[in-house]
Structure 1
Amino acid sequence: MKVAYIRTSTKEQNLDRQIHAVKKENVDKIFSEQLSGKDTKREKFQEMMSYVRSGDEVVIASLDRLGRDYSDIKETVRILQERDVRLTVLDAPFLHFNTGNKTLDKAMSDMFISLLGYIAQNEREKILERQKQGIIQAKLRGVYKGRPLKYHAQAKNPKDKLVFLNVSHQLEREIPIRQIARENGISKSTVYEIKKRIEEGVSSHG
């Protein structure tokens, strides 16, 4: 089987470019999700990892689609290699060595994957640092207000307020996050964000 895994960090981003790229590889199945790659606790990613078997091939548009953490990328690649699952990275065709020596091919591939994983994480850290510095400068100029909250106790929209109150009540009853998200028509990340604000004692905007 040839399967593809595609991911964007947010639902606002479009999956079309990745879908178009992997379909050119004649994949049999596509696992897709729109979720941060901060760790490997992603539903479709875990489904894909459980699905592949020895002799299969996993196709990804770029190495950072597996995740944004250097150690997570290396661990994922190691697991795939142990299962004898080939990894094809579309924007890094030079990773596919064919010297005739399997041990040498693997060693060279490992070296380049480690390097690319480090570069991906380093670039991510630089972006975060630039964002942090930009926020600091905006705050100093008094122009940074942050992203407005949608669900909170003083929300102008009655529906948004009701969602917040319902989520708060369900969290108190220790209902599973997935169930809360489904019943309120919101994402799990939104439930976690509300939960964090409640725990920090910040239940309303501002």
Structure 2
Amino acid sequence: MKIGYARVSTRDQDPSLQTDALRQAGCDRIYEERASGAQRDRPKLREALEYMREGDVLVVWRLDRLARSMRQLITTVEDLGERGIEFQSVTESIDTTTPGGKLVFHVFGAVAEFERSILQERTRAGLEAARQRNRVGGRPPALTEEQLEHVRALLLHTDTPARSIAEQLGISAATLYRHFPGGRAALREGQAHE
């Protein structure tokens, strides 16, 4: 059985172009969704996937109707394949019920994997180049070295509450304790052992 899935992004859009194409492709049943592609929860898609059985074919008008990214598309189609369900895209002429369609889809998968590898390689190279210039990515430290020394002195030599010290510096008490685990007691104990 061929099951069609049509999706439009807004309530104002008309899915009839998609549904007409799905009917022409021989779909026995069509599920229509009005949801953004970025939306993770798509009840009609979930309903269609739950309805489908081994031997069925999921048909979409275009690849972007099913998934927002190539990775998401490949994962979805692989999940279908594990259940014995085939996939067709009308516009791109992809049909995993044929050997040629399976080949095209696997080429898409290989290209997506290649893109991921290139992106990871570029990221690693960029981080290494930054490290060589003594630049480290991530969030800047909450406290400078001078501020850390000032806090250390306040904790060791005054009874000002840690929460008040943190407020003066515009940080949370948790941030202060991350820099000084154990707080005042640990600092004073450490000083006593020196």
TM-score using structure 1 length:
0.49
2:5–2:60 contact (8 Å) kept in structure 1: yes
Partner of 1:109, secondary structure, is helix
Deviation at 1:108, TM superposition (A): 4.2
Partner of 1:76, secondary structure, is helix
Name the CA distance, whole Å, in 2 between partners of 1:75 and 1:40.
Answer: 14
Name the CA distance, whole Å, in 1 between partners of 2:40 and 2:114.
Answer: 17
Deviation at 1:116, TM superposition (A): 8.1
1:107-157, Cα deviation, whole Å (9 max, x unpaired): 5422235658999xxxxxxxxxxxxxxxxxxxxxxxxxxxxxxxxxxxxxx
Assess, with a 3 A threshold, how the Cα gap between structure 1 residues 31 and 117 changes in structure 2: closer, same or farther.
farther
Assess, with a 3 A threshold, how the Cα gap between structure 1 residues 117 and 2 changes in structure 2: closer, same or farther.
farther
Name the CA distance, whole Å, in 2 between partners of 1:112 and 1:85.
Answer: 19
The equivalent residue for 2:20 is: 20
1:28-71, Cα deviation, whole Å (9 max, x unpaired): 11111110111441000111111111100111000110121332
The equivalent residue for 1:87 is: 87
TM-score using structure 2 length:
0.52
Assess, with a 3 A threshold, how the Cα gap between structure 1 residues 81 and 39 changes in structure 2: closer, same or farther.
farther
Partner of 1:14, secondary structure, is coil
The equivalent residue for 1:184 is: none
Name the CA distance, whole Å, in 1 between partners of 2:65 and 2:71.
Answer: 14
Assess, with a 3 A threshold, how the Cα gap between structure 1 residues 108 and 22 changes in structure 2: closer, same or farther.
closer
CA RMSD of aligned residues (A): 2.8
Q: Percent identity?
A: 30
The equivalent residue for 1:9 is: 9
1:2–1:59 contact (8 Å) kept in structure 2: yes
1:83 aligned partner, one-letter code: R
- Say whether residues 1:52 and 2:55 are aligned partners: no
2:31 aligned partner, one-letter code: F
- Say whether residues 1:71 and 2:71 are aligned partners: yes
1:84 aligned partner, one-letter code: G
1:59–1:88 contact (8 Å) kept in structure 2: yes
Gaps of 5+ in 1: 120-206
Name the CA distance, whole Å, in 2 between partners of 1:116 and 1:90.
Answer: 21
Name the CA distance, whole Å, in 2 between partners of 1:8 and 1:24.
Answer: 19
Structure 1 consecutive aligned stretches of length 4 or more whose deviation exceeds 3 Å: 94-99, 104-108, 113-119
Partner of 1:31, secondary structure, is strand
The aligned runs of 1:4-153 (5 Å cut-off) are 4-96=4-96, 98-99=98-99, 106-112=102-108, 115=111
Number of aligned residues: 115
1:74–1:117 contact (8 Å) kept in structure 2: no
Deviation at 1:105, TM superposition (A): 6.3
Structure possessing the higher radius of gyration over alpha carbons = 2
The equivalent residue for 1:198 is: none
1:33–1:44 contact (8 Å) kept in structure 2: yes
2:2–2:27 contact (8 Å) kept in structure 1: yes
1:91 aligned partner, one-letter code: T
